[in-house]
Structure 1
Amino acid sequence: MKSLYIFVSDFFKNKGHHVFLSLLIAKICGFLGSLFIIRILPESEFGTISIVASVFFIFMSFNGFGSHQSLLRYGSIIQDDCEKKVLSKYLFRQGFVHQLLISAAFLLISVFYINKYQDVFFIFVLFTVRLVGYYFLNHIQAEFRVFGNNRAFAKVGNVVNIGGVLLLLLLSYFFGLIGYLLAIALTPFLCLLWYKKYHFVAIVDSINFTKKEIWSFGLHAAGTALLSDALFSADVLLLSFLMNETAVANYKVGLLIPINITFLASTFMQSDYTVLAKNSKSKLFLKNYIANYYKLFIPISCVIVVIGYLFKTEILSFFFSSKYAGNESIFMIFLATFSFNMLLRNLYGNLLSAVGMMKMNTAISLLNLIMLVSFAFIFVKKFGIEGMAISLSLSLTISGFLLLFSFYLYWKDLK
């Protein structure tokens, strides 16, 4: 237990709790926003929003072609602050050009939905604005992290997320769907209060890493995030075509709480990302980190599953109203799956990223998506919404074991 105490103490010493609490607040705000919208919008409108949001999260994963992921990894390795500034400025300018292309591609996707869903183009336009806003937010937060300013990282995140959910509640209450869309489009731009003039100054210094190396990592990091988010969007998109928007709404209700419990593991790992990147060649450090991670998260995962099983009906009724209380089976399938994946997919996926093995992460994520689609066409026809839950759970669990094996191959070759 002494090693666990040191493990947690180092987490606080590195000010990881600022990052953790900020990401926790972001999750809570996102959950509250989703909960509020579920309650005030009709099932059909909520289903349409869920479909557009699913496409949005796919494209958001690819923001700037992974420029902020590259900044976070290579900026963590660089020791000199001036060199970090040069890298940040380069990635900001190049990433923004890429972001404009991504945003245009996202808007073009709307043509596939215009004839099927009412007002969907207007929804896509405001989600496009939100997409650009998140590019700025991702970059400034990554920059604060590489300079070790976790307090500022938390401050900008808290202002955007808390301010965003308050604006969402206010505008949605008075203007319904239009108010909700305006709120989510505008709030990411609050981060511009923290931008520095040097981001827009011409680049005169050279960077220590080759551009090919930086963008290769960034593209694979973005590709991995894209495929990962595509996994959690493909299920909704498949249901929207195989069934209807009402099925999507019920499925999302069963998924919403379980998918959000993984923030415990993901935010913990993200808080330690810079430390993991700096120690990516230390075999002993990585071994001890994994051992202490399990000491912390195995009990947490077990408690979550037990509480969810005992109070599943009450949880669904309390958060989503009694009309959604019939989704207990989906809820429990996902709760068990995501609790288990905190011990596999969240841990080893983040470790592979921190040690620079993004190509393997990308390959497994692609395989994961292929498995989901394949399983869906088998199980959805037989079991409906529960079939999609089974499909997602199987693909997540298999990919988790593949990530574990890939990291083991890397670890055993370290000296």
Structure 2
Amino acid sequence: MGGLKEFLSRFFSNKGHHVFFSFLIAKICGFLGSLVIIRLLPENEYGILSIVMSVCAIFLPFSGFGSNQILLRYGAISEKENKQNLSSYLFFKGIFNEIILIVIFVGISLFYAPKYENIIIIFLFFGIRLMGFYLSNHIQTYYRISGKNDIFAKVSNAINIGGFILLLVLTYLFKFYGYLLAIALIPYLSLFWLKKEMFSAKRIVYDNKKEIWRFGIFTAATSVISETLFSLDVMLLGFLMNENAVANYKVAILLPSNITVLAISFMQSDYPLLSKNYQNKNFLRSYIKNYYKIFIPICILILGFFYFFKDLLLKVFFGTNYSDNSNLMMILLLGFTFGMLSRNLFGNLLPAVGKIEVNTWVSILSLIILSVTAYFLVNTFGILGMGISLSLVLIWEGLAYLTFFGNYLKKLTR
């Protein structure tokens, strides 16, 4: 791969910056969308939506039973004709799988129906969204594996920016049902970029079915478990302490947890390239070296900035009521910055080289470790104990991923 200059040159020539900024835009639009529903909807309606959104969040990573994750990894290492074959096979198979998921998802509404009026209708709107989410993911993934990162970014930005405008207008005009209509329609904006070659290859049978679906299911499961990790800390804190402790913890973790978007966006930009070079030992070593040349200085700057301005940041963003959480925020920041240099790097490299099962088992163990350490540390140190527990888990995950990837590299012959 060469030095840092060549590394960055390749990143820009591959239009990786388009992917990088599209992820950032998605993050910003998601935040603004949350503000819209909080500001424009009554508390009781927002509460019901939160219940459905929480259930939906579990189903999203299983979209198509992992078909889009399969397309991203195996499509990246395939020749052009095989990309189209794989895309066609997964497109139709994924739709069938998604229908099954939507039926299960809507079926869950029956458990809530006796307590919450009209919740089945809300689930139906979100079911429509789930199918749109599957289609938009397939379209965007196809452009990524085809090396058209600029078009991928256009689709992503249209969904996020156009979707936010649609969400704002419909929610303002029609309130609750305007919001439901907007979130159902937003993913379908991607259909303007749907091309015939994505689903019309003559040969749509793919040979390595067992291998690719194993990868897809493991990837989807890992995504759900990883999301659970960042919900479990809050649930445990609510059980071990009280709602005030939860509020202070949520404030302290908000800024540290969001810095990882830099590393995640960067790694996602290069994911197809990393998959193509999954057996190229020199390339992978060089990639890690150049990644560190960029992110070690970034992490040092972040730590320095937060250290000197931690009190001011808490006051500006959250008010004086939360200014006593500076030590907790710094503890969490140490965990997340270490995670950027280990967990985010090697946790993305392992799926790219086909070792997704490592992420799954490490994530399961992480949930157990967090539960045990939090029980003892929160009882001893209070809210700081939860910050220490999560940071220890992030460090453990990073070291585990590093170890497994190091073993993978050693086994490569070239």
TM-score normalised by the shorter chain: which range applies? 0.7 to 0.9
Render the CA deviation track for 1:320-350: whole Å, top value 9, x for unaligned.
4555555444433332221210101100011
Alignment CA distance shift 1:45-1:31 (3 Å) = same
Counterpart amino acid of residue 303 in structure 1? L
Gaps of 5+ in 1: none
- Counterpart residue number, 1:265: 263
Render the CA deviation track for 1:96-135: whole Å, top value 9, x for unaligned.
2222222333344556667888986665554443333211
- What's the % identity of the aligned pairs? 53
Whole-angstrom CA distance in 2 between matches of 1:373 and 1:351: 27
- Counterpart residue number, 2:282: 284
Whole-angstrom CA distance in 1 between matches of 2:118 and 2:312: 35
Contact residue 89 and residue 204 of structure 2 kept, 8 A: no
Alignment CA distance shift 1:372-1:353 (3 Å) = same
- 1:283 is displaced (CA, Å) by 1.2
- Counterpart residue number, 1:301: 299
Q: What is the TM-score when the length of structure 1 is the normalising length?
A: 0.87
Contact residue 44 and residue 245 of structure 1 kept, 8 A: no
- 1:277 is displaced (CA, Å) by 1.1
Render the CA deviation track for 1:352-389: whole Å, top value 9, x for unaligned.
11111111121112212222333344445566655444
User: What is the aligned length?
Assistant: 412
- 1:400 is displaced (CA, Å) by 1.2
- Counterpart residue number, 1:104: 103
- Counterpart residue number, 2:144: 145
- 1:258 is displaced (CA, Å) by 2.2
- Counterpart residue number, 1:162: 161
Alignment CA distance shift 1:7-1:366 (3 Å) = same
Whole-angstrom CA distance in 2 between matches of 1:178 and 1:30: 19
Name the stretch that deviates more: 129-138 or 107-116.
107-116
- Counterpart residue number, 1:58: 58
Render the CA deviation track for 1:139-188: whole Å, top value 9, x for unaligned.
11111111111111000000001112223334455666655454333312
Whole-angstrom CA distance in 2 between matches of 1:387 and 1:305: 20
- 1:207 is displaced (CA, Å) by 4.7
RMSD of aligned residue pairs (Cα, Å): 3.2
Counterpart amino acid of residue 145 in structure 1? R
Whole-angstrom CA distance in 1 between matches of 2:398 and 2:310: 25
- Counterpart residue number, 2:224: 226
- 1:254 is displaced (CA, Å) by 3.2
- Counterpart residue number, 1:5: 5
Render the CA deviation track for 1:55-85: whole Å, top value 9, x for unaligned.
4333211111110111111111112x23211
Whole-angstrom CA distance in 1 between matches of 2:47 and 2:376: 23
Is residue 135 from structure 1 mapped to residue 134 from structure 2 by the alignment?
yes
Whole-angstrom CA distance in 1 between matches of 2:406 and 2:332: 27
- 1:198 is displaced (CA, Å) by 5.4
- 1:316 is displaced (CA, Å) by 3.6
Name the stretch that deviates more: 123-132 or 69-78.
123-132
Whole-angstrom CA distance in 2 between matches of 1:316 and 1:33: 23
Matches within 5 A, 1:376-415: 376-380=374-378, 386-415=384-413
Q: What is the TM-score when the length of structure 2 is the normalising length?
A: 0.87
Gaps of 5+ in 2: none
Is residue 75 from structure 1 mapped to residue 52 from structure 2 by the alignment?
no
Contact residue 142 and residue 198 of structure 2 kept, 8 A: no
- Counterpart residue number, 1:29: 29
Whole-angstrom CA distance in 2 between matches of 1:239 and 1:117: 27
Whole-angstrom CA distance in 2 between matches of 1:379 and 1:389: 9
